[in-house]
Amino acid sequence: MKPCLVYLSGPIKAAHGYSVDDNVREAGQTFLDLTRRGIPSFCPHLGALVPGAFDVPYETWMAYDFAVLDRCTHVLMLPRWETSAGAKREKDYAFLRGIQTFYSLDELEAYLERTRAVV
């Protein structure tokens, strides 16, 4: 069994009354919550903190995200994921590759405990 690695998927760009900072802060908090629980995760939102990140073409970021997703065992959809074209693509990509997707941290944690997934 491949060691657990959770991909965090949700909006990054400013939209629907939420700023980039709002989205990064929320994703970062989830990343920290997972870390505190001993669950390894990847948070693509943290790339938005790097100066020049938004100068990189969107499709380059998506190719990067898909390459990371290929290494992940689970996906956690963050609040408002439905408002993000990128998050929808990540969800579909994960589905096609059989990567389990969860919609809450509690749901993910309960599954990992129940299945004793390798963390």
Q: 2 — phi, psi (to 5°)? A: -70, 140
Residue range 17-63, pLDDT digits in tens:
999 999 999 999 999 999 999 999 999 999 999 999 999 999 999 99
Average pLDDT along the chain: 94
Q: Which pLDDT score, from 0 to 100, does residue 1 have?
A: 61
Q: Which pLDDT score, from 0 to 100, does residue 36 have?
A: 95
Q: Which residue has the tokens 């499709």?
A: 59
Give the global pTM: 0.93
> Which residues neighbour 41 within 8 Å (Cβ) at sequence distance 6 or greater?
5, 6, 7, 8, 30, 31, 34, 35, 76
Q: Which pLDDT score, from 0 to 100, does residue 2 have?
A: 74
CA distance 108 to 6: 9
Percent of the chain topping pLDDT 90: 90
